[in-house]
């Protein structure tokens, strides 16, 4: 599909809520776009979405063979269905060495042919091939932060790297401060460091408030200085 939107949930630090939010996001989208939403577990080595959704784990060798033999005819053949959405259940540790960035890119390309919305859940950091493929292919990158200054600093440093070294357009990033997690980072400091609007995620009436706002344009030229200034003021 030409108008497919690919959204990746990513973070610099681990355990900040990516998987929780990616699943919630995909389920929300699937209510409006029945059978047109793909949730891809790209948490290389440690996929867990299939457990959260109580689904069978699919053997990734099959999709690997399809790619190696030429092409994936239909990615849906390698996904399981959960309600109104399709799920790619991922690659476990025993097999992840066989998958390279080009394999993950092929999986994304194939999903693009079949779905209007693709939601990808990634590992924290930037050192996995699945994360690299997802970040490069994404229209939107939803960054999740824990509310503490170290997480903020790691996030800013890594995004600077992604922007400068991998050429990822900074306007694709949007920031989500996960208030469910402990920490006292204030919104103002976080917005000053990142130079962008940040959406706070909280629990309201027992439901996760979903971060679907649009981002503002232009930031990151002065990240290093912003971090320095933020440190001075905390």
Ligand X SMILES: Nc1ncnc2c1ncn2[C@@H]1O[C@H](COP(=O)(O)OP(=O)(O)OP(=O)(O)O)[C@@H](O)[C@H]1O
Binding-residue total with ligand X (CB under 6 A): 14
Using the rule CB under 6 A, is 134 a contact of ligand X? Answer: no
Cβ 210 to Mg ion, closest distance in Å? Answer: 17
Query: In 3-state terms, what secondary structure has residue 212?
Result: coil
Contact 30, 118 (CB under 8 A): no
Non-local CB neighbours of 122 within 8 Å, separated by 6+ positions = 8, 9, 10, 18, 42, 43, 128, 130, 131, 134, 135
Cβ 201 to ligand X, closest distance in Å? Answer: 5
If contact means CB under 5 to 8 A according to the sort of partner, which of Mg ion, ligand X, none does residue 20 touch? Answer: ligand X
Cβ 71 to ligand X, closest distance in Å? Answer: 30
Using the rule CB under 6 A, is 135 a contact of ligand X? Answer: no
Q: Which helix (H) or strand (E) holds 151?
A: helix 149-165
Return the C-alpha torsion angle 43, 77, 52, 8, nearest 10: 40
Binding-residue total with Mg ion (CB under 5 A): 3
Cβ 139 to ligand X, closest distance in Å? Answer: 21
Query: In 3-state terms, what secondary structure has residue 141?
Result: strand
Among 7, 8, 19, 89, binds ligand X (CB under 6 A): 19
Residues forming a β-bridge with 41: 121
**Binding letters toward ligand X, positions 202-231, x by CB under 6 A:** ------x-----------------------
Cβ 185 to ligand X, closest distance in Å? Answer: 15
CA-to-CA distance for 37 and 79, rounded, in angstroms?
A: 12
Question: Closest CB to ligand X among 111 and 144?
Answer: 144
Among 7, 8, 11, 19, binds Mg ion (CB under 5 A): 19
Query: In 3-state terms, what secondary structure has residue 195?
Result: coil
Using the rule CB under 6 A, is 17 a contact of ligand X? Answer: yes
Produce one character per residue of 123-135: b if its CB has 16 or more CB atoms within 10 Å, e if not: bbebebbbbbbbb
Q: Which helix (H) or strand (E) holds 228?
A: helix 223-233
Read off the DSSP letter of residue 45.
B
Among 124, 137, 152, 223, binds ligand X (CB under 6 A): 124
Q: Which of residues 23-82 bind ligand X (CB under 6 A)?
A: 43
Q: Which of residues 25-64 bind Mg ion (CB under 5 A)?
A: 43
Question: Closest CB to Mg ion among 18 and 172?
Answer: 18
If contact means CB under 5 to 8 A according to the sort of partner, which of ligand X, Mg ion, none does residue 218 touch? Answer: none
- Contact residues: ligand X, CB under 6 A: 11, 14-20, 43, 124, 178, 180, 201, 208
């Amino acid at each position: 599909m030409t108008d497919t939107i690919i959204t990746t949930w990513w973070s610099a630090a681990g355990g900040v809520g990516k998987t929780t939010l990616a699943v919630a996001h995909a389920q929300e989208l699937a209510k409006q776009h029945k059978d047109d939403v793909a949730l891809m577990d790209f948490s290389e080595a440690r996929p867990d979405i299939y457990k959260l959704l109580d689904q069978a784990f699919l053997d990734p060798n099959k999709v690997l063979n399809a790619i190696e033999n030429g092409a994936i005819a239909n990615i849906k053949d390698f996904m399981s269905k959960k309600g109104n959405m399709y799920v790619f259940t991922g690659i476990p540790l025993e097999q992840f060495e066989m998958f390279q960035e080009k394999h993950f890119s092929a999986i994304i390309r194939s999903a693009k042919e079949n779905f209007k919305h693709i939601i990808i859940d990634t590992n924290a950091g930037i050192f996995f091939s699945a994360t690299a493929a997802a970040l490069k292919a994404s229209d939107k990158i939803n960054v999740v932060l824990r509310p503490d200054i170290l997480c903020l600093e790691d996030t800013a440093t890594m995004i600077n790297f992604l922007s400068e070294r991998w050429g990822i357009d900074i306007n694709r990033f949007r920031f989500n401060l996960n208030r469910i997690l402990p920490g006292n980072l204030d919104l103002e400091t976080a917005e000053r460091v990142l130079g962008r609007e940040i959406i706070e995620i909280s629990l309201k009436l027992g439901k996760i408030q979903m971060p679907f706002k649009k981002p503002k344009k232009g930031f990151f030229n002065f990240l290093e200085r912003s971090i320095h200034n933020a440190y001075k003021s905390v």
